[in-house]
Chains A and B, each alone.
Chain A
Amino acid sequence: MESDSNKIIDSFTQGDYKFGFITDIETDMAPKGLNEDIIRFISAKKNEPEFMLEFRLKAYRHWLTMKMPGWANLKIAPIDFQDIIYYAAPKKKKQLSGLDEVDPELLDTFNKLGISLEEQKKLSGVAVDAVMDSVSVKTTFSDTLSKQGIIFCSFSEAVQKHPDLVKQYMGTVVPYTDNFFATLNSAVFTDGSFCFIPKGVRCPVELSTYFRINAANTGQFERTLIIAEEGAYVSYMEGCTAPQRDKNQLHAAIVEIIALKDASVKYSTVQNWYPGNKKGEGGIFNFVTKRGICKGNNSKISWTQVETGSAITWKYPSCILLGDNSVGEFYSVAVTNNMQQADTGTKMQHLGKNTKSTIISKGISAGHGNNSYRGLVRIAKNAVNSRNYSQCDSLLLGNKCGAHTFPYIQVENKSSIVEHEATTSKISEDQLFYCQQRGIGMESAIGLIVNGYAKEVLKQLPMEFAVEAQKLLSISLEGSVG
């Protein structure tokens, strides 16, 4: 019986990455390494106003004083930050006026990923911004949106066209001094998405960004800024993939969300960066700082993430609940298979009165994967009558993987209530047998059971993403259980 389940585990842990292709496209690159000249180079390439260069240089000088944090439950080989290319862009004609002018190789890449920009534009009503390596390639739908005053464009474009908004909000949620990777990003970020929903507007479509790392030896440092003015609503989705390469690649992103009074922002991520091979060679190092502030009363920020890729994931999408009655949510499914490691969770900072937060975290470990939930719930003295509910579940597939939970709870007043529940379980032999007896093969059975386990989180995803996420969960665990 033991040997049987081991066989099952082994056979199931051998899933292959389906997005490992490399696009043969001409790339415009900066030389390897990092110094003030590189930063000036990036800023000049992007034709940035002075304040941006200043921001970058301040961040860079601060970064030089910092050390890479070692507190996460991750084993990370030393990273040589001078061995990375900080700027790579697909070479292109000067200005693109339509999809016809986008490099066909590039369009082909996005088609392979299942995102045809043209189709998306026509059929699904999803506005897409696609970021390849360092540069935003094409934003669909922005014309339609602009009629309602919604701005959805690449970060670079926002810097050019809406410098005042960028200046007003950038770095207000994640300051350039925040942490090692956020500071690095602030110095070298190359592009990302920008989204502004004006007062009282409910964004009629899902906004979506696809990130793709293509060039070798490059890092990807994108920055996303979302601003929802009073009473505004937006649902935003982010997807990521990268080709299969035997060297680790660095991804250090920042997402900042600002929700003003009565505004609501829903942010969904399906992260499928290349996880490395079965021996743990290659794969993306994913160090991301995501944070939102519920600035106004009755505002709401909801994070949903499905993390299946990356060799290392270090990521804590958080909410600062400043406004009274504001609401923060965090729904997460994190899968670690083969040699993958994840240390992920959230921070809920309750500052306003009657603030509420919900944390649902579902970790899935398979192969030699190591999965940690790390979360902070802090209820400040003035955040009276606040509530938090946390549920952290871990599912283990096989007996070589690990699951850990590190909850931190600080409550500074007596009228608030914090609940924390945690479970650890395995897929039972009985469940598998039951499925198989109904004619369902082992791999489908595991897919079914895992998707069932993650259902509470998956149902938070917008429809377009939910289907993809379900498939991805099954694929990323292919080859892994007992």
Chain B
Amino acid sequence: MLLTIKNLHASINGKEILRGINLEVKKGEVHAIMGPNGTGKSTLASVIAGREVFEVTEGEITYKGKNLLKLPIEDRAREGIFIGFQYPVEIPGVSITNFMRTAVNEIRKYKGLDPIPAVEFLKLMEENKRLVEIQSNLTNRSVNEGFSGGEKKKNEIFQMAMLEPTLAILDETDSGLDIDALRIVANGVNKLRTKENAFVIITHYQRLLDYIVPDFVHVLFEGRIVKSGNKELALELEEKGYDWIKKEFE
């Protein structure tokens, strides 16, 4: 088992958002987490990443057999957890090249490897730019600064490709994307899928799941996973909306 979440409760400023999440993810799987707004989908991603504003009050998360909750943010990332953010932050003056080189090398250092040779790094950059169809020269562009919504999301997938995570959690990567960008993003994810890694795709709509076919679909509502199924569940949600679930559980 790659990731095991048991009875996870988390709150922010004393307000409980996650109220007993249970989830198991194996290598090679793609899970989709769906649900109405404000039910804790992004909070779940933040808690897995280790964001300090959220306090875990109960439950546990085991990742690669380790107690994930004890690891600092950067070590979780170095152990292969990647979050594709819904609203990637801008870092003025820091080029994407420099940002990625720093990240790649810190991860390598953690694993006891030497820094990546410059030539190899640039080759990797070029390959992954092609993967998500980024044309611009990334050495001149600051991280997310002046990027359109679509560019920011492509940039998240690009970074994911560079860092080769074991567990990638994509938080509403499809929101605000036009159909071309959606296809590019989905394509990137599909090419990166292997037997050795897993994806958790947080989304509001079924649309993205036409391109990235999940093995499991979970519905998150009021801080709990209230329903799990296969990809058919996503279609059902698309058709009926979330109201029937709300009625069932309110």
Give the 9 A-B CB pairs with smallest separation, nearest first: A452-B93, A452-B94, A455-B93, A439-B77, A436-B73, A438-B103, A439-B107, A430-B89, A436-B74
Q: Contacting chain A: which of B25-33, B47-55, B189-197, B213-221?
A: B47-55
Interface string of B73-114 (1 = CB under 8 A from A): 110111000110100110111100011001100110010000
Residue B142 at the chain A interface, CB threshold 8 Å: yes
Kindly state the separation between the CA atoms of A149 and B133 in the bound complex, as whole angstroms: 55
- Does the CB pair B102–A444 fall under 8 Å? yes
- Does the CB pair B106–A441 fall under 8 Å? yes
Kindly state the separation between the CA atoms of A429 and B92 in the bound complex, as whole angstroms: 15
Given A439-B78, A448-B102, A452-B142, the answer on whether A434 and B93 have CB atoms closer than 8 Å is: no
> Which residues does chain A contribute within 8 Å of B89, judged by CB atoms?
428, 430-431, 433-434
- Does the CB pair B103–A440 fall under 8 Å? yes
Kindly state the separation between the CA atoms of A1 and B72 in the bound complex, as whole angstroms: 14
Kindly state the separation between the CA atoms of A441 and B72 in the bound complex, as whole angstroms: 9
- Does the CB pair B77–A437 fall under 8 Å? yes
> Which residues does chain A contribute within 8 Å of B76, judged by CB atoms?
437
> Which residues does chain B contribute within 8 Å of A448, judged by CB atoms?
91, 94, 98-99, 102
- Does the CB pair A452–B92 fall under 8 Å? yes
Question: Which of A4, A441, A451, A456 has the most chain B CB atoms inside 10 A of its CB?
Answer: A441
Residue B134 at the chain A interface, CB threshold 8 Å: no
> Which residues does chain B contribute within 8 Å of A434, judged by CB atoms?
85, 88-89, 91
Interface string of A445-462 (1 = CB under 8 A from B): 000110111111000000
Residue A442 at the chain B interface, CB threshold 8 Å: yes
Residue B43 at the chain A interface, CB threshold 8 Å: no
Q: What are 18 A-to-B residue pairs whose CB atoms are below 8 Å? A: A431-B89, A433-B73, A434-B89, A435-B103, A436-B72, A437-B74, A437-B83, A438-B163, A439-B77, A439-B106, A439-B110, A444-B102, A448-B94, A451-B93, A451-B94, A452-B94, A453-B93, A455-B93
> Which residues does chain A contribute within 8 Å of B52, judged by CB atoms?
1, 4
The majority secondary structure among interface residues of chain A is helix
> Which residues does chain B contribute within 8 Å of A428, judged by CB atoms?
89
Q: How large is the interface on B (under 10, 10 to 19, 20 to 34, 35 or more residues)?
A: 20 to 34
Tell me which residues from 80 to 106 in chain A have a Cβ below 8 Å from any Cβ of chain B.
none
Question: Which of B72, B91, B92, B159 has the most chain A CB atoms inside 10 A of its CB?
Answer: B91
Instruction: Give the number of residues in A that approach B within 8 Å (Cβ atoms).
Output: 25
Kindly state the separation between the CA atoms of A272 and B205 in the bound complex, as whole angstroms: 55
Name A438's contact: one of B51, B99, B142 (CB within 8 Å): B99
CB distance from A262 to the nearest CB of B (A): 32
- Does the CB pair A436–B77 fall under 8 Å? yes
Which residues of B come within 8 Å of A, CB atoms? 49, 51-53, 72-74, 76-78, 82-83, 85, 88-89, 91-94, 98-99, 102-103, 106-107, 110, 142, 159, 163
- Does the CB pair A454–B74 fall under 8 Å? no
CB distance from B138 to the nearest CB of A (A): 14
Which residues of A come within 8 Å of B, CB atoms? 1, 4, 428-431, 433-442, 444, 448-449, 451-456
* Shortest Cβ distance from B76 into A: residue: A437
CB distance from A9 to the nearest CB of B (A): 14
> Which residues does chain B contribute within 8 Å of A452, judged by CB atoms?
91-94, 142
Kindly state the separation between the CA atoms of A1 and B52 in the bound complex, as whole angstroms: 6
Name B74's contact: one of A442, A451, A453 (CB within 8 Å): A442
* Shortest Cβ distance from B110 into A: residue: A439
* Shortest Cβ distance from A459 into B: residue: B93
- Does the CB pair B106–A1 fall under 8 Å? no
* Shortest Cβ distance from B144 into A: residue: A434
* Shortest Cβ distance from B75 into A: residue: A439
CB distance from B158 to the nearest CB of A (A): 12
Kindly state the separation between the CA atoms of A431 and B73 in the bound complex, as whole angstroms: 13
Name B102's contact: one of A433, A440, A455 (CB within 8 Å): A440
Kindly state the separation between the CA atoms of A225 and B181 in the bound complex, as whole angstroms: 59
- Does the CB pair B94–A449 fall under 8 Å? yes
Kindly state the separation between the CA atoms of A476 and B99 in the bound complex, as whole angstroms: 20
* Shortest Cβ distance from A456 into B: residue: B93
Kindly state the separation between the CA atoms of A4 and B103 in the bound complex, as whole angstroms: 23
Kindly state the separation between the CA atoms of A440 and B74 in the bound complex, as whole angstroms: 6
Kindly state the separation between the CA atoms of A311 and B13 in the bound complex, as whole angstroms: 40
Kindly state the separation between the CA atoms of A449 and B144 in the bound complex, as whole angstroms: 13
CB distance from A49 to the nearest CB of B (A): 50
Beyond A434-B89, A453-B92, 11 additional pairs, beta carbon < 8 A? A1-B53, A430-B89, A434-B88, A435-B91, A437-B76, A437-B83, A438-B103, A441-B74, A442-B74, A448-B91, A448-B102
Name B159's contact: one of A1, A438, A449, A454 (CB within 8 Å): A438
Kindly state the separation between the CA atoms of A433 and B45 in the bound complex, as whole angstroms: 13
Kindly state the separation between the CA atoms of A431 and B94 in the bound complex, as whole angstroms: 11
CB distance from B47 to the nearest CB of A (A): 13
Question: Which of B85, B93, B106, B107 has the most chain A CB atoms inside 10 A of its CB?
Answer: B93
> Which residues does chain A contribute within 8 Å of B159, judged by CB atoms?
438
Given A1-B53, A444-B106, A452-B92, the answer on whether A439 and B74 have CB atoms closer than 8 Å is: yes
- Does the CB pair B163–A437 fall under 8 Å? no
> Which residues does chain B contribute within 8 Å of A444, judged by CB atoms?
102, 106
- Does the CB pair B94–A439 fall under 8 Å? no
Given A1-B53, A444-B106, A448-B102, the answer on whether A438 and B92 have CB atoms closer than 8 Å is: no
* Shortest Cβ distance from A454 into B: residue: B93
Name B73's contact: one of A437, A453, A454 (CB within 8 Å): A437
Question: Which of A4, A429, A434 has the most chain B CB atoms inside 10 A of its CB?
Answer: A434
CB distance from A469 to the nearest CB of B (A): 14
CB distance from A306 to the nearest CB of B (A): 15
CB distance from A457 to the nearest CB of B (A): 10
> Which residues does chain A contribute within 8 Å of B72, judged by CB atoms?
436
Question: Which of A430, A433, A437 has the most chain B CB atoms inside 10 A of its CB?
Answer: A437
Kindly state the separation between the CA atoms of A471 and B46 in the bound complex, as whole angstroms: 32
Kindly state the separation between the CA atoms of A435 and B72 in the bound complex, as whole angstroms: 13
Kindly state the separation between the CA atoms of A92 and B85 in the bound complex, as whole angstroms: 64
Name B51's contact: one of A433, A440, A449, A453 (CB within 8 Å): A433
- Does the CB pair B99–A449 fall under 8 Å? no
> Which residues does chain A contribute within 8 Å of B77, judged by CB atoms?
436-439
Kindly state the separation between the CA atoms of A230 and B167 in the bound complex, as whole angstroms: 64
> Which residues does chain A contribute within 8 Å of B88, judged by CB atoms?
434
Kindly state the separation between the CA atoms of A431 and B107 in the bound complex, as whole angstroms: 18
* Shortest Cβ distance from A430 into B: residue: B89
- Does the CB pair B102–A437 fall under 8 Å? no
* Shortest Cβ distance from A448 into B: residue: B94
> Which residues does chain B contribute within 8 Å of A439, judged by CB atoms?
74, 77-78, 103, 106-107, 110, 163
* Shortest Cβ distance from A427 into B: residue: B91
> Which residues does chain B contribute within 8 Å of A441, judged by CB atoms?
74, 106
CB distance from A223 to the nearest CB of B (A): 35
* Shortest Cβ distance from A8 into B: residue: B52
